Amino acid sequence: MYECSECYLVRKEGETFIGVGGLWYGEDQDYPQMFFMFSDKIKENFTTIARGSKMLLNYLDKTQPQMTMTILADYEFMVDWAVWLGFEPVGVTSSPPHKYVDFVRCNPNQKSVYDETLRPITH
């Protein structure tokens, strides 16, 4: 991941990590895929995660016009989290036995929408 991603560690001061997140740049992608992996302490540190997630997106908006994300549909909490962060569901892909929700997020500080599935919505 070192050569194809930006990684950020989220942790409460003086405690173990809560999550690792960032952007992954695939060779066949126009825009980076946001990723996040949480520890088992996510529920007890929800406020920290929510605040940190918004801060990370504000930081990434300085350099990215658009981001994508894919979440296993079974994790409704994570799907809701993505929507709360401003990602919009644009489709569902199936890889039996699993279904994934595909998301896109256009930078709210820019007036262009590159993803055809989001048109005519402007952010």
Query: What is the reported pLDDT for 1?
Result: 53
Among the ranges given (19-23, 61-65, 86-90), the one the predictor scored with the smallest mean pLDDT: 19-23
What token pair was written down for 96?
A: 């039996």
Task: Give the closest residue to 22 by CA, choosing from 64, 51, 83.
Answer: 64
Rounded mean pLDDT, 21-35: 79
Q: Count of CB atoms within 10 A of residue 114's CB?
A: 14
* pLDDT band for position 123 (cuts 50, 70, 90): very low
Strands (E), the chain: 5-11, 17-24, 33-38, 66-72, 88-95, 98-106
